Amino acid sequence: MPTRPSDIKNPGSYIGFGWQNRTTDDLETVREWWKRWPDAGIALHPGPSGFLVFDPDLPDNVPDWLQKHFDTALFRPTDEIDSKRGHRFFSLAQGQRFGCVLGKLKPPKAEKWGEVKCFGGVVIVGPTEHPRVGGRYATGPGGNPILVPDEIAEKPMRRPIRNRIGC
């Protein structure tokens, strides 16, 4: 879905309130959006698109057991400067639903490492311009994400969060 360049992390910046119910993969709708807003950034609503996405903002704090799974995920860097930072994509199995809550993936101490995005969340994808570090979100390399590993699937909360922007 399109996002305003000055407010790319707000998925409703162009299509408005209730964006979670207005996301689409309908090619004609997407074409109309980009005719209307040709400079828009691109936001992906991961859950309905079939993905569970992890965004480790502090990659050095990711627990070792979780990092081994991240190493097998489809990776899209979020900037061209720090190749450790980026989104880790896993495919959802039939019927899997996760919200944007770390649940049991939350570290026991105050050592934050990042976020999980699925139903109700959004990730910005390439070639959208990155607002903080310059450059653009990466569009490659290509590939097919693997299914969410069981060890991860057991831990996040399954209940989707509704009507939260930016989770």
Domain boundaries, the chain: 2-153
Per-residue pLDDT tens for 73-98? Answer: 999 887 665 567 789 999 999 999 99
Give pLDDT, residue 166. 43
Average pLDDT for 57-85: 84
Amino acid at 3: T
Q: In sequence order, what E strands does 22-157 have?
A: 41-44, 51-55, 74-77, 86-91, 115-117, 123-125
Q: Could you tell me the pTM of the whole model?
A: 0.87
Percent of the chain past pLDDT 90, that is, above it, reads: 46
Average pLDDT for 150-161: 71
Radius of gyration of the chain (CA): 15
Average pLDDT for 18-45: 92
